Amino acid sequence: MPAGVGSLLGMLLAVVAILALAWWVTSLIARQGTLALPGLAVAGSASDFCVLRQIPISRTERLLLVRLNQRCLLLGVAQGGVTLLAELTEEEKAEQAVLRRAYIDSVLGNLKGQLDHTYIVDEQGNKRKLEKKETED
């Protein structure tokens, strides 16, 4: 057998081996996810990632506001992939915390006001004011 044919067969065997290895790795990832390959696994758990808001732009495109660990990211998702559009700055995070606290206080105040004007009517038609429940500490 000529030397050229031997090297051609060697290259062909190497290509077949690479293709077989690639097929095996992709089937392993499909069965067990990236956790089967520790070098590809993302650090942290699923609880470190949360989709806060999703806004459809078109049939195939949408905006996602996600929290990944302590970072808030605005992502554009399209058929071509995912693009980072913006990340909340520290000042925006501080403003978000202030607005969130104001929102929670407003909701609790409205709820308290509603409950302060709530009455219970018994079987005889007597109205009594709703009383605050005692809690055990």
Within-domain flag for 137: no
Is the pLDDT score of 41 beyond 50?
Answer: no
Radius of gyration of the chain (CA): 30
Arithmetic mean of pLDDT, 100-113: 92
Report yes or no on 135 lying in a domain.
no
Task: Please check whether residues 48 and 73 belong to one and the same domain.
Answer: yes
Q: Is residue 74 part of a domain?
A: yes
Alpha-carbon distance 29 to 35, whole Å?
8
What is d(CA 32, CA 44) in angstroms, rounded to the nearest whole number?
Answer: 17
Task: Give the structural domain span for 50.
Answer: 44-88
Q: CB under 8 Å to 96, separation ≥6 — which residues?
A: 72, 88
pTM above 0.85, yes or no: no
What is the average pLDDT score of the chain?
82
Question: How many structural domains compose the chain?
Answer: 3
Residue 123 falls inside a structural domain = yes
Q: What is the pLDDT of residues 15-28, one digit of tens each?
A: 999 999 888 888 87
Confidence band (pLDDT; 50, 70, 90) for 72? confident
- State whether 76 and 105 are in the same domain: no
Q: Is the pLDDT of residue 82 over 60?
A: yes
Mean pLDDT across 30-50 = 59
Distance CA 66, CA 82 (A): 12
Please state the rounded mean pLDDT for residues 88-113: 89
Q: Is residue 16 part of a domain?
A: yes
71 in Cβ contact with 87 (< 8 Å): yes
Instruction: Tell me the mean pLDDT in the region 115-126.
Output: 88
